Amino acid sequence: MSQDDAAAAAYQDAIKNRTPRYFHASGDNAHGQTGYKDTEAFAENLMVLQECALLLGEKLEMTAVSHAFLYDGAETAGFKYDQTSNPAQPRVVGAIQNRRVPMKEFSEGLDGQMGT
Amino acid sequence: MQVGTIQNSLNALKSMGSVYGVILVREQTVIYSDCPYGADKVKQLAGSLDDISFYFTKERRQVDQVSFGYDSGNVVIVMDDPHRLVLFHSSIEDVDLIAKSAKAFLLDYQMGMFTEAFAKKQSQQQAYDTVAPPDPTTQQIRSQVPQRPGTQRISLKAEQGFDQTAPIQPLLDPAAGAAPRPQARGR
């Protein structure tokens, strides 16, 4: 099975079972197990959420963002900074799930992916 | 919706779990604010929220709840255009309960606004109906409007039906020369 086929199978499996698709990002790169297109969708979510968090944080004088989650239709998406990573080059763990899961549960899922 | 009712409901939200601030905005207008930030900051926040909401709408995304975490606290925003309810809380553990209550409030608030607007419109209409004399122009136009052909056909059918059923009528009064009752046929 090629890498693309494996990624497509992993994506289909996650969609079918409505389980989270996890991603990691550091520097300018994002990595995922569910294919390029899905990783690109995560990267876009990450950029938008980060921008929104910084915009609001600026107004509230809170600059250090720790997480950002959203519900978009029937989907839950978001990211969390890995607090154990090097502050000079922070790592981010994120996910997209095609189900509205409680945000606390979503956050705990991301915690489980830290350092993996 | 009564200001007191809004205040009571939002105060109840503020006393939930680790919530320490509440802001209710409509587009860029601040309707209610009870948080550690000054009026200027809250107004700026309302503007930024409007920009964020506009962006999501433009991108055709149906974002109705966003949660942000910072080093000194968390913010959960429940959006139901044109209203946005912002709640500041210190523990991420509470986020779902807070958001659920915020959604219930927003739904109730918007329903209240709708009912109020509907009642106002109705009372205005009633006042107009009572005061306004019949408009002769309207009356004239109404009399010029030809009757719908469908109505006439229905009336004609009814007349034909009456003629056809007329002989049956004496059955109610046999003395008036009733038509013979149909005999039940045996096998």
Given an 8 Å threshold on Cβ–Cβ distance, is B41 in contact with A103?
no
Is A53 inside any structural domain? yes
CB nearest B65 (choices: A48, A53, A71) = A71
- HSE-up of residue B53 (Cα within 13 Å, Cβ side): 21
Q: Report which residue type is found at B76.
A: V
Of the listed ranges A27-31, A33-37, A97-101, the one predicted with least confidence: A27-31
Q: In Å, how far is A84's CA from the nearest CA of chain B?
A: 15
How many pairs of residues across A and B have Cβ atoms under 8 Å apart?
79
Q: What is the pLDDT of residues B103-151, one digit of tens each?
A: 999 999 988 888 888 888 888 888 877 776 666 666 666 566 555 554 4
Two tokens, residue B55: 């962006």
* Start-end of H helices in B59-148: 95-131, 136-144
CB contact under 8 A, A56 and B44: no
How close is the nearest chain B Cα to the Cα of A61, in Å?
10
CA–CA separation, B21 vs B26, rounded Å?
17
pTM for this structure?
Answer: 0.76
Average pLDDT, chain A: 93
> Would the CB atoms of B71 and A107 count as touching at under 8 Å?
no
* Cross-chain Cβ contact A62/B71 below 8 Å: yes
Residue A15 lies in a domain: yes
Cβ contact A62–B55 (<8 Å): no
Using CA atoms, how far residue A111 sits from A52, A102, A107, in Å, is 22, 14, 6
What is the number of structural domains in chain A?
Answer: 1
Write the pLDDT tens digit of every residue in A38-61.
Answer: 999 999 999 999 999 999 999 999
* Any domain includes A57: yes
CB proximity A108 to B under 8 Å: no
Instruction: Output the domain CATH number for residue A31.
Output: 3.30.450
pLDDT tens for each residue of A6-16: 999 999 999 99
Distance between CA atoms of residues A92 and A114, nearest Å: 8
Does residue A25 lie in a domain region? yes
- Is A38 part of any domain? yes
Domain extent, residue A63, equals 3-111
Confidence grade of residue A25 (pLDDT, cut at 50, 70, 90): very high
Residue A116 lies in a domain: no
Which chain A residues touch B37 with a CB distance below 8 Å? 60
B24 residue type, one letter: L
Q: Closest CB to B61: pick one of A60, A72, A80.
A: A72
Q: Tokens 């549960």 label which residue?
A: A105
Whether the predicted interface score ipTM is above 0.90: yes
Is residue A71 assigned to a domain?
A: yes
